[in-house]
Structure 1
Amino acid sequence: MTSPINLAFMRIAKRAERQDDATLARTFVDFGAVLAALSSVDHSLIFGRRGTGKTHLLTVLRTAREKEGTVAVQLDMRNLGSTGGVYADPQIPVSQRATRLLIDVLAAIHGYLLEQALADDSRVDLGAAGKALDEFFDAHREVKVVGTTTVEVATVAENSFSAETRVGVTASLKSASIAADAKDTDAGKEAVSAKRTVIGQEIHRVNFGSVSSALRKIVESFPGGRLWLLIDEWSEVPLDLQPMLADLLRRAVLPIKGVTVKIAAIEQRSRFMIPDADAGNVGIEIGADVSAAVNLDDFMVFDNDEDKAVEFFRALVYAHTCAEMEEAKATVPANEAALISAAFTQANAFEEVVRACEGVPRDAINILSAAAQRANDSSISVGDVRAAAQNWYLGTKDAAVSAHHDAKRLLTWLIEKVIKERRAKAFLLEAGLRDSLVDFLYDERVLHVLRKGMSAKDQPGKRFIVYGIDYGCYVDLISTVRAPQGVLDLGDSASSDFSLTVPHTDLRSIRRCILDLPDFYGSVAESVPVGSAIG
């Protein structure tokens, strides 16, 4: 029979949107004073890969503002209109797709505010804000017909004629007379009619000035004159439309006194501005219009700060486990230490969970759930954690990478160059260099940023980013026939007890391990047949 603690581990929700606000507020664990930083009224961005807690953070921020009596709107960009349909349809001109997106965003804001007014008039007074809400609705619903116009004029003439003649004769003995009477009529009527025909297409348009004016009036009617706009899943918007949406915010929303905007996005899949020398920049300039307040990928990586990472994940796991065990009416461990002692065979088994998740809370919860299922009625061991990490990697990350041919080739090349030749688990890449394949592997959480601003031993003056290869990828490598025999002295690759050690990253030992991407692309070009294309 599965132990109550392991059952609780398996029941923890893997996504924040599947839990109610009260549970999210209770299970939230702050780190690095992130919540305090985001509570500032300044506009700011929240960067982080999938699973780092962006939605959880925004939800807690919204509920905190609502408890203060402030109106807060949280938008999930995945739920707007036709994100995967009309917005991304290349057959539709980008201007039309962008306009439809802007209309959907404004309609969502309008709908949320109207819903708040109907549900709680103490927060949004419909009597005070009603007229402004109507203006806001009209401002983003303007329609213009673009096409040709034809005017037709028709003249119709009508004529009628009638005649009547009467003749009378009278006679008598004394006299005779003749009387005649004639009458004729002639009538005419002319009618002129005109018809205007418009042949064209209805084009929706958004007037930024009208939107801004109406929204300003709405905000002024709120208690305290404040509105928080929290935009989640920004990176779900097609990349070519993101600057247009950002430009709407910059022109119509950001300048309004009393409005605070927070945007959660994946850095590698976001484009906030398009430089345009003629028309001016389109979009939001990071650092000028908004600040990049938080990057969740910079926190909680085990190799960065072991103590801080373990402390955070102990608190996180304890909060979630208590919530699940209380709901199941099971006995809750008295504190974090009691939970770790009861659930794991030894302290370093939990530390292995922290290492395996590479600083991503959702990965930690999934690995912990799989390890608990493997352990069943027993305490979780290091072997359970490593097996769970390997399965999580193969089932999610490796599957995504395998579907991208060039990214798979780069990962294979990294394993050869970094693990086999350099005998390391991490490497350096010069800061400022952007590569789509590296970004893809990072976005899929196969590569992780361990440190920024690192210097290399042989290249003074340059700064590098330290990337580490995913823990699950490494475990999969050393536990299969693909293991680099004789390189890391890892023993029998077929061993099933997972007694092998996944090495810690020694930053001093990798200062010569600089990744040479031109070398990779050169090797790929040599292996591609003539007439084929790379990428």
Structure 2
Amino acid sequence: MVTGRQQHLNQALLRIPRRAENSARHTVSKTYVEAGSFAALLHSSDHQILYGRRGTGKTHALLHLSDLLAGMGDVAVYVDLRTIGSAGGIHADSAQTAAERGTQLLIDTLEEVHDGLLAVAMEREVSERSLRSDHQSGRTSPSDHQSGRNLPSDHQSGRSDQHYDPTALLRELDALAEAATTVKVVGEVERETTFAGEAETTQSAGVTLSASPGVRASASSKRSVSAQSRLLRTGVERHQVMFGPLSRAVRGIVRALAPARLWLLLDEWSSVPRDLQPFLADLLRRAVLPVGGLTVKIAAIERRSRFAAPTATGGYVGIEVGSDAASSVDLDEFLVFDNSAARAREFFARLFHNHTAVWLATMVRDPPSDVTGFVDEYFSRTAFTELVRAAEGVPRDAINIAALAAQHAHDKPITVADVRRAARDWYLRDKQTAIRGHEDARAALRALVDEVVGHRRARTFVVDQLAVERAGVVEDLHDARLLHLLRRGIADPNHPGALYDGFAIDYGCYVSLLLDDAKFHARGKGDWLNSPAGVPPEGFKFARAAIDLGALLG
């Protein structure tokens, strides 16, 4: 092996972007890897909620879907909910009522959708003007259009032309803007009215003339009367969103885009304040989800999302998952090593191969042409299997651990020892610091590590689902990727009515014990922490895996 080549290979791992939005847009689809049946679910026209913890690839999946839809001739509007609203953070301002903050959230979201559709309409109009100009100047002919010459890049790439009218779309966008920006003045109304003009007054003298019996003499006078009319409103202007006009505007937009389908892709749902999420969900349920020819995909973190809230009348505000939104998909379940080791290895091998191929094409001769060659050239023995297990089903963690392992390996293939050191560094540098200000979570993690790793010499455990919901802290540790949910709804054969969830302590956490704690080095070679082949297979045996969370945490 040439030293310079291996060093370039490892450097390619260091250059992989950690977040999909930081990647060049033209490389998103090239580097995307489909995970099992997830691709088929994602491409369906059903409304869906895509669940997954941070780093599982939700953003990458939505951006990839957006590119695919553009190639099909449909219209996709991608909205990053982290970026909406004002810099002052009005959505999180506790000084305002939830109704006021929720209304502003709806308006900001609709404004973002409006801007996305406006860009689509303007791009379409510019494209049509260019084609008309070329045709009038004689630069194109019907045969040119048929053969695809001198057409925009979307035509050359095989994108179907849906022929929607940009003028009609712009007209419907005006209706959307009007429906989203209605203002209501709340306060007192004072009315003052003044008239202007002349009035004639007639007065009778009461004198009867003898020549004309019955005729009375009278005198008249005129005087001017003036006034003003003034209406004074004193109060506060408040925005309000009317779902009826808004729904009609959305239907008009879909009609204007026909036969193209409109896809609304909402990313980072969990970045919206939790108490406001049902307001945004209710807007979707009332004005968007019932519209035919439109599909909504929402990317969210399950344990940080609240799609519905009950009302005092027994109803609810928001979306009923499984009813209003047809289905939900959990990315965590697709990539967990213990659910399917072979599938997880294949996914991550393709992930690293696709990302490094962009850089290796200019760095080395004859870069690995397939995933098998990639793994053989980058990793020694079982190191890649160890890396996949260390990732715990999270692509972003896999990329970061691989980059740290490449630094340790430098100009040599990556070994198991490199992966373990990298996993420990990533755990201490990123994951553990995520709960630094959460004392309950830190105490719970310490207690679980002492019990599961220290006393039981294991890394997996099961907990009653009701105890998990009551404690809450386990959910926080799961969100921080310090605990990993391997299996839901495990039945206890001795108590069929109780359901348990199976968790695992993070790989980096217990590997840090292997590398840093001397008491684990003193154990025999058969101990699982010292196994050169990696960590042992996982299992859930109630006799030794069940944990009384209440007793453990006090």
Match status 1:462 vs 2:498: yes
Please give the residue correspondences for 1:8-157 in structure 2 after superposition, counting only pairs within 5 Å: 8-82=12-86, 85-121=89-125, 125-153=165-193
* Pairwise CA distance, 1:327: 4.9
Q: Which residue in 2 is equivalent to 1:506? A: 538
SS of 1:79 mapped into structure 2: coil
Q: 1:500 to 1:144 in 2, by over 3 A?
A: same
Q: Which residue in 1 is equivalent to 2:479? A: 443
Please list every run of 5 or more consecutive structure 1 residues that lacks an aligned counterpart in the other structure: 160-184, 523-535
Cα distance in 1 between the residues matched to 2:366 and 2:425: 30
Farther-moved stretch of structure 1 (242-251 vs 18-27): 18-27
Cα distance in 2 between the residues matched to 1:207 and 1:377: 63
Cα distance in 1 between the residues matched to 2:71 and 2:550: 54
Contact 1:274 1:283 in 2 (8 A): yes
Contact 1:426 1:505 in 2 (8 A): no
Deviation by residue 1:137-177 (Cα, 9 ceiling, x = unmatched): 10001111101112235689999xxxxxxxxxxxxxxxxxx
Q: Which residue in 2 is equivalent to 1:243? A: 278
* Pairwise CA distance, 1:292: 3.2
Cα distance in 1 between the residues matched to 2:515 and 2:364: 40
Contact 1:102 1:248 in 2 (8 A): yes
Would you tell me which structure has more helix in proportion to its own residues? 2
Q: Which residue in 2 is equivalent to 1:178? A: none
- The amino acid across from 1:45 in the alignment is I
Contact 2:79 2:266 in 1 (8 A): yes
Aligned pair partner of 1:227 in 244, 256, 262: 262
SS of 1:333 mapped into structure 2: coil
Aligned pair partner of 1:189 in 205, 224, 242: 224
Contact 2:345 2:388 in 1 (8 A): yes
* Pairwise CA distance, 1:492: 13
Farther-moved stretch of structure 1 (351-360 vs 73-82): 73-82
- The amino acid across from 1:75 in the alignment is V
Contact 1:245 1:283 in 2 (8 A): yes
SS of 1:414 mapped into structure 2: helix
Contact 1:474 1:502 in 2 (8 A): no
Cα distance in 2 between the residues matched to 1:327 and 1:449: 40
Contact 1:83 1:237 in 2 (8 A): no
Contact 2:180 2:240 in 1 (8 A): yes
SS of 2:46 mapped into structure 1: coil
Q: 1:482 to 1:271 in 2, by over 3 A?
A: farther
Please list every run of 5 or more consecutive structure 2 residues that lacks an aligned counterpart in the other structure: 126-160, 200-219
SS of 1:215 mapped into structure 2: helix
SS of 1:13 mapped into structure 2: coil
Contact 2:460 2:540 in 1 (8 A): no
SS of 1:380 mapped into structure 2: coil
* Pairwise CA distance, 1:456: 3.2
Normalised by the size of structure 1, how large is the TM-score?
A: 0.86
Deviation by residue 1:231-252 (Cα, 9 ceiling, x = unmatched): 1110000000000000000000
- The amino acid across from 1:252 in the alignment is A
Please give the residue correspondences for 1:246-261 in structure 2 after superposition, counting only pairs within 5 Å: 246-261=281-296
Q: Which residue in 2 is equivalent to 1:391? A: 425
Please give the residue correspondences for 1:243-392 in structure 2 after superposition, counting only pairs within 5 Å: 243-278=278-313, 280-328=315-363, 331-346=366-381, 348-392=382-426
- Give the RMSD, CA atoms, in angstroms: 2.6
Cα distance in 2 between the residues matched to 1:60 and 1:511: 45
Give the count of matched residue pairs.
492
- The amino acid across from 1:358 in the alignment is E
Aligned pair partner of 1:424 in 441, 455, 458: 458
Cα distance in 2 between the residues matched to 1:156 and 1:209: 43
Cα distance in 1 between the residues matched to 2:460 and 2:353: 31
Q: 1:413 to 1:458 in 2, by over 3 A?
A: farther
Q: 1:250 to 1:129 in 2, by over 3 A?
A: same
Contact 1:456 1:512 in 2 (8 A): no
Q: What percent identity do the matched residue pairs reach? A: 42
* Pairwise CA distance, 1:85: 0.8
Normalised by the size of structure 2, how large is the TM-score?
A: 0.83
* Pairwise CA distance, 1:390: 0.5
Q: Which residue in 1 is equivalent to 2:141? A: none
Cα distance in 2 between the residues matched to 1:513 and 1:39: 39
Contact 1:220 1:226 in 2 (8 A): no
* Pairwise CA distance, 1:186: 8.4
Contact 2:264 2:297 in 1 (8 A): yes
- The amino acid across from 1:21 in the alignment is R
Structure with higher Rg: it is 1
Cα distance in 2 between the residues matched to 1:12 and 1:315: 13
